[in-house]
Structures are given as structure tokens and as C-alpha cells.
Amino acid sequence: MTLTEVLQKRTILQQYKCWYVLDNDFPWNIPSIYHKIHDHLDTTFPIPVIFCSIREANKIISDLGHDEDEYLRFAAGIYWRELGIIFIFHYEEYETLIETLFHEYRHVMQDLDADFRHHFEHDKKLPYKERKTEMDAFQFAKEKTNIYFKTLYGRENVV
């Protein structure tokens, strides 16, 4: 089953390009966030971004023929490399949402970088906070989030 087929079985509350909202509690305007994020990334990525609960993400992953992951319950978002999808689970606070999007897009950039990609496999053996992929993504997200909020509000974000 393709992602399009899987999503057709669900209620999509908002959609803009390849971003999908499946949760009634999502309070933000997707086109606005999409453009602001991609303006700060200086590019766009054809990676689907799905805003949903962890439970819904696990159902989608299962419908796509992959095993569900229990560790998702600790994540604000995840770039599922094997599927080429970003799932975002925490979006109640705008600043957290923005930082999570930058973090997960950094993982996409890392995956597209042939010189960096090998770290994903090597990092699996390390504790989460010691993974080069995560340290790089956290630093990138912090920098981009600060620039984003400085541009938006004239102040740096406290992340």
C-alpha cells in the first residue's frame, strides 16, 4: 500500500502540498508554517510531513507494511528514514512545533548527504544524546529556531 492509499482511509483535516493534519487538536495554519519553515531552510523537500498522534503514526506505519515502534511515545517528532516520512506528534506549543520541524528536516538533510548518512547506522549503538545525528540536529534546530523567532518577533527564542 502507498502512503496516498493509506491517507485516503483517514480524515485529513488540513493539507498543503505534502503536509497533512490528521488531528482535530492541531491549532495552526499549515500553509503559513510550511512557507515560513521552508523560507528558513532555503529549499523545499518532497518529504511528507504528517501531524498526528503517536497511535495514528503507528497505524500508518503498520499499514505501510512496517513494524510499529514503541519508542515513539517519547518523541516530539520523527523522521522515519525507511519510509521517507516526517511524523510530528507535539504541536500544542508553537515554539516546540517549529523547533521539532527544523530538527526533523535536519535529519532529512543528513540522510541526503552521502558523507553524513553512515552516521545513522553507527549511531544506533550509542545513547540518544551521544549520537552525532542527534547532536547535529539539535544544534541546527536551535540555531534555525532562534533565527526564525528573531525574524518573526524581533527576539531570540529561548530554547
For residue 132, being part of any structural domain is answered with: yes
Indicate whether 59 belongs to any domain. Answer: yes
> Does the residue 99 lie in any domain?
yes
In a domain, 45, yes or no: yes
Compute the average pLDDT of residues 72-86: 87
Closest-CA residue to 101 (of 78, 69, 123, 117): 78
| Number of domains within the chain | 1
Model confidence at 77, pLDDT cuts 50, 70, 90, reads: very high
**What is the reported pLDDT for 64?**
93
22, 158, 25: which is closest to 91 by C-alpha?
25
Assigned domain for 159 exists: no
Residue with the larger pLDDT of the pair 73 and 44: 44
pLDDT digits (tens, 9 = 90+) for 114-146: 999 999 988 888 988 899 999 999 999 999 999
pTM greater than 0.85: yes
Q: What is the mean pLDDT of residues 50-60?
A: 93
